[in-house]
Structures are given as structure tokens and as C-alpha cells.
Amino acid sequence: MTDMILTKTRMRGGAWDGILTGAGDVAPVLTLRHNGDIVPGLEMTAAEDGAYHVHAPVPVALIADDVQTFTITGEDSTHVLASFVIFAGETLEDDLRAEVDLLRAELDLLKRAFRKHCIDTA
């Protein structure tokens, strides 16, 4: 497995854009997730030097009051390549809730990876 790096280039018009490097010759399968659920619509297009442009639109239905955390993972769904947070509604005192929400999303990934590992090694 190669070491993929996904770097944000911008967030505009309700879509997150980035550049994926280190993927190799075959386009990887990436997944956009919100609260553990897969969000459809993530697109990748080939760029120069084996990189890929990644475009992840955020559905309007997922924008709601409070903190909404999105993660982009590789095919195995255990490694977070990128994450972003959308704040909506009342102004937050500080971004501690965003950090806690991101930790919850990463914990869910770890739980899935641990369960898969237990099944594979049993």
C-alpha cells in the first residue's frame, strides 16, 4: 500500500476540494462519511504527475444546527485522509465541540478497524 496524502485546496459552494498524491497508478476508492454514514457524490479526476483532484460536495440535507464533521477515508475505511467541520446555527463559545465531534468520528473508525481485525484473525 502506498502512502496517500490528501491536501485541501479549498471549500467553496458547498463542496470540499483537494489533491490526492501518492496513490500510484490505479485510482483508489475514497469515501466521504458523516456520522459514520457514507455520503454519495465524491468524485476524483486524474491530474498531472499521478495525482488526483478530489471533489466532495456536501448535501444540503446534512447541514444543520451545531457541528457537522465529515471525514474522507481510503478504501479500507480505517485511515482518515482528511476531515472538515461545518459550523451552523448559534455561534459556538469555542471549537471544543468540533474537536470532540472529530474524536468521535475517529473513534468510530477505530472501532470498525478493530472489529475487522478481530474477525480476520479469529
How confident is residue 19, by pLDDT bands cut at 50, 70 and 90? Answer: very high
Domain count for the chain: 1
Q: Which domain covers residue 91, as residue numbers?
A: 5-121
Is it the case that residue 78 has pLDDT exceeding 80? no
DSSP string, 30-47: -EEEETTEEETT-EEEE-
CATH of the domain at 15: 2.60.40
pTM for the model stands at 0.73
Could you report the per-residue pLDDT of 31-67, keeping only the tens digit for each? 999 988 999 999 999 998 889 999 999 999 998 888 8
